Amino acid sequence: MIQSRNIVNTENLVVSKSKEKIFFGEYSGFQRYDNPTYKFAVQQEEKQRNAFWNPNEISMVNDAQKFFELPNGIQEVMIRIWLFQTLMDSGQNKGLEEVIAELCTNPEFEAMFKTWGYFELIHSLSYSHILRGIFTDSTAIFDKIKDYPEIQHRIDKEVELYTRVKNINNLDSLEEKKKLVLELLVNIFALEGIKFYVSFLVTYIINNSYNNKIQGSTRIIKLINFDEDLHTAMCSGTINILKKEKVEGFTEIMESQWYSDLIDNTFSRVYDDEMSFAKYLLSIAQIPSLTEKVFEQFLKFYVDLRRVQLGKNKIYNQEKTDVVQWFENYKDLNKDNAALQESDLAVYSIGIMKNDLPEGKLKFKWKK
């Protein structure tokens, strides 16, 4: 158990707001949102909830007909990407709901973490929707993950950290506990903001290069990509609040060399891991326009971007390449909606994605 507290402490339901810290505070479990300490968490949770989507509403008819027209190697690349992403989102769903949300002692952040976790479940459901839509025996496809150690072990670090945080009361000092939470948060940030990106890029490149043969799958991945961008903002915002707000009790640790080394080591490891995964995918098949050099530049750009978002200097000074620019344009759902107006694919237009939309408002449109 992470906490010794009851699910709801009915003996002390009204706790001083000053004691409801994000982590390691006092929280009765009484979920009230009348006077939030952090509007950031309220706004981020609302943005994600307002962007709800249902994978079952997205047609897989095109993909079922055309996926098998792809070269065999490209088919294998996509299968392994879907298996990897299912594994990653499985870990995130369970970790956020069973570990982070349970450790949280602030109601608005608890709500944000729970909504974030629920959308990771939507992502896992989406991959099953994709595989069921394409393969007559999707179970056999999922079972293949046992044959791919390169995929099986891609979340070992995250699983280890979630497990250690779940057993955090085994640590003696509060400082040790805070350091462990920070290590997990920085790794989650790298996962959301970097580790998914190679597979997103490969999916978009394959769909674009092979005349939209996986357009339903790609539409789903774009929705997932949008969510992961939100999750990246949620995570960086949480980390930066912990650093800025001295009342949270993390500032001194986050100004130390230990924290700087944590960021350096985490991003260095993630960069190496993602380059290894890119090489693994390239060993299965030649992917149009993608080379080790292209992946290297792509990853260096996003590593630098995420470092800056945590207040650290760039280490690669990688300029935005044509591939990065193409990636950012291709994943844009607003442009995607316009392009699909004449398609038979049922899609959502999520108003929350429009920059001119007032905070907290949503315009929902159904287009065919």
pLDDT tens string 164-190: 999 999 999 999 999 999 999 999 999
Average the pLDDT over 330-354 and give the result: 54
Task: Report the pLDDT value the prediction gives residue 5, as an integer from 0 to 100.
Answer: 61
- Cβ atoms < 10 Å from Cβ of 104: 27
Nearest 5°: CA angle at 239, between 180 and 256?
A: 65
- Which domains, ranges and CATH numbers included, belong to the chain? 47-367 (1.10.620.20)
- Cβ atoms < 10 Å from Cβ of 93: 20
CA dihedral of 41, 219, 216, 322, whole degrees rounded to 10:
-140
Show the DSSP H helices in 191-250 as ranges: 197-209, 215-244
Q: Nearest 5°: phi and psi at 364? A: -110, 125
Report the alpha-carbon distance of residue 269 to residue 366 in Å, rounded: 42
Report the alpha-carbon distance of residue 291 to residue 88 in Å, rounded: 24
Q: Nearest 5°: phi and psi at 171? A: -80, 150
Higher pLDDT, 51 or 360: 51
Outline where DSSP puts E strands in 54-197. none
Tokens 């905070």 belong to residue: 359
Higher pLDDT, 38 or 28: 38
The mean pLDDT of the chain is 88
Task: Report the pLDDT value the prediction gives residue 346, as an integer from 0 to 100.
Answer: 39
